[in-house]
Amino acid sequence: MLRYPSLSADNYIRNRKAFADAMAPGGMALFSSNDIYPTGADGTLPFRQDSNMLHLTGVDQEETVLLLFPDAHNPADREILFVTETNAEIAIWEGAKLTKAQATNQTGVRQIQWVSLLEKTLQRLVTESSCCYLHQNEHTRASVVVETREARFNRWFTETYPHTRIERSAPILHRTRSVKSEEEIERMRHACGITRDGFNRVMRFVKPGVTEFEVEAEYLHEFVRKGSRGFAYTPIVASGANACVLHYIENSDVCKEGDILLMDVGAEYGNYASDMTRCIPVSGRFTDRQRKVYDAVLSVMRDATKLLRPGVSLHEYHKEVGQLMTAQLLGLGLIDKHDVQKQNPAWPAYKKYFMHGTSHFIGLDVHDVGLWHEPIQSGHIFTVEPGIYIQEEGLGIRLENDIVVRDQGFDDLMGDIPLDAEAIEDAMND
């Protein structure tokens, strides 16, 4: 029994068609699975499938290759999925792999071949194609320091077929992957629901003297028991001054009376991510100062959410959020009008206390792909996560929900997770 049901084959058929429609005439595209990465001795890291393979097929299995050739002369060659040949011994040691029939039922690809036939098939089809689309990680934040299976495959292909014109698949995928189907949205809503359950558990658990890693363990326990494989990303559980370190992941300190505990966590479900940030008072009650800063961040968050609408430029969106934050910081007395008047437009005054962006795409990856230079579309899902970090006070507040942009308004996937300060205090003191 799987932890989660597969998305429908229709979902993957739709995704492949969207990619195929954007290809050049006569083009062929190839996509490969991720590696299984070694640790030491005979150890390996848990397998995480390539997100593009998940987007196009849903196949969560190593050594898988997808070939798309919409203009192939033979209709049987227009979509081919290559999977690892299974047998009884593999099933005993590792568990059963997909059969050809199962692969077709899950993906909607009718032509399934064993991966051992890949090279022979390519030799036959390359001469018929006008170009080949290959993929590499072009995420703006990517820093790839290992040679991936994808990179090895691309090098092998270009060396084997040096006269084939190569095209990039990333620009197409960044556009098509960013617009989520209703099935994908419901999957992410479920991930957010698991995150909600974890947060509700933690609010009852936190008190002075617990460690940050104990809080992390409470989340993990709830996530796994609800069918998640765990965190969608490395969790941040930061108490006191640690909350002013944006990517604090040590999670090793003791939560002290009077501290704020910032938790940037999210459950993964069915390969889709959620991303939530909440801040709670370790003692169960906010101080007056903490409450003022908290309410300021919450005000920016709510107003920023309303700004996410189709047709809006992400650049202009972030600029407008900066103005919202400037007003709140002025109200808190953290900056004054002279700071604003003399500010550097490239690094406005508010950046002293709010130095990161407000929103990013989210989906199969927590920092999902998308085209930042194009207007927002209905079906895009963004985080909204403003924050104020006052290092001199050891006080950091960040709040974050996952938002679906709709033609009319928005859909808050975390709308049922406690957010108001009063609701948090009530839950912690119930």
> Is 90 a residue whose pLDDT tops 80?
no
Model pLDDT, residue 93? 78
What 8-state DSSP symbol labels residue 319?
Answer: H
State how far the Cα of 229 lies from the Cα of 114, in Å rounded to an integer: 28
Pick from 347, 372, 351: nearest CA to 360: 372
73 part of the active site: no
- Candidates 275, 303, 365, 402; catalytic one: 275
Helices 421-428, 288-307: axis angle to 10 degrees equals 130
Model pLDDT, residue 3? 67
For the chain, what is the mean pLDDT? 95
pLDDT tens sequence across 185-213: 999 999 999 999 999 999 999 999 999 99
Residues 6+ apart with CB under 8 A from 319: none
269 part of the active site: no
Q: Which residue intervals of the chain bear CATH 3.90.230.10?
A: 182-428
- Candidates 3, 165, 204, 356; catalytic one: 356
* Distance, first Cα to last Cα, the chain: 37
Model pLDDT, residue 1? 40
- Candidates 216, 259, 368, 385; catalytic one: 385
Determine which helix (DSSP H) or strand (DSSP E) holds 350, and give its type and residue range: none
C-alpha count within 13 angstroms, C-beta hemisphere, residue 3: 16
Beta-bridge partners for 267? 231
pLDDT tens sequence across 341-382: 999 999 999 999 999 999 999 999 999 999 999 999 999 999
State how far the Cα of 92 lies from the Cα of 102, in Å rounded to an integer: 19
**192 in Cβ contact with 381 (< 8 Å):** no
Model pLDDT, residue 96? 80
> Is 94 a residue whose pLDDT tops 90?
no
Model pLDDT, residue 141? 86
The string of DSSP codes covering 135-158 is -----TT----S--HHHHHHHHHH
State how far the Cα of 64 lies from the Cα of 61, in Å rounded to an integer: 7
**213 in Cβ contact with 238 (< 8 Å):** no
- Candidates 139, 285, 367, 406; catalytic one: 367
- Candidates 63, 268, 400, 402; catalytic one: 400
302 part of the active site: no
71 part of the active site: no
163 part of the active site: no
360 part of the active site: yes
Pick from 150, 134, 128, 153: nearest CA to 30: 134
Residue 249's pLDDT band (boundaries 50, 70, 90)? very high
- Candidates 272, 389, 402, 425; catalytic one: 389
189 part of the active site: no
Backbone angles phi, psi at 83, to 5 degrees: -130, 160
State how far the Cα of 204 lies from the Cα of 430, in Å rounded to an integer: 8
- Candidates 247, 373, 392, 430; catalytic one: 247
> Is 2 a residue whose pLDDT tops 70?
no
Q: Which residue intervals of the chain bear CATH 3.40.350.10?
A: 9-176
> Is 70 a residue whose pLDDT tops 80?
yes
> Is 430 a residue whose pLDDT tops 90?
no
367 part of the active site: yes
Q: Which CATH superfamily hosts domain 182-428? A: Creatinase/methionine aminopeptidase superfamily (3.90.230.10)
State how far the Cα of 207 lies from the Cα of 202, in Å rounded to an integer: 10
**310 in Cβ contact with 407 (< 8 Å):** yes
Helix ranges (DSSP H) in 8-107: 9-21, 51-56, 88-94, 100-107
318 part of the active site: no
Residue 285's pLDDT band (boundaries 50, 70, 90)? very high
Model pLDDT, residue 9? 97
Model pLDDT, residue 5? 84
420 part of the active site: no
Pick from 19, 30, 311: nearest CA to 176: 19
50 part of the active site: no
pLDDT tens sequence across 379-428: 999 999 999 999 999 999 999 999 999 999 999 999 999 999 999 999 99
> Is 168 a residue whose pLDDT tops 50?
yes
- Candidates 55, 268, 398, 425; catalytic one: 398
Q: Which residues of 321-349 are buried (b: 16+ CB within 10 A; e: fewer)?
A: bbebbbbbbbebebbeeebeeebeeeebb
Enter the pTM of the model. Answer: 0.95
9-176: CATH topology is Creatine Amidinohydrolase; Chain A, domain 1 (3.40.350)
Mean pLDDT of 228-251: 97
Mean pLDDT of 7-18: 97
- Candidates 50, 264, 402, 425; catalytic one: 264
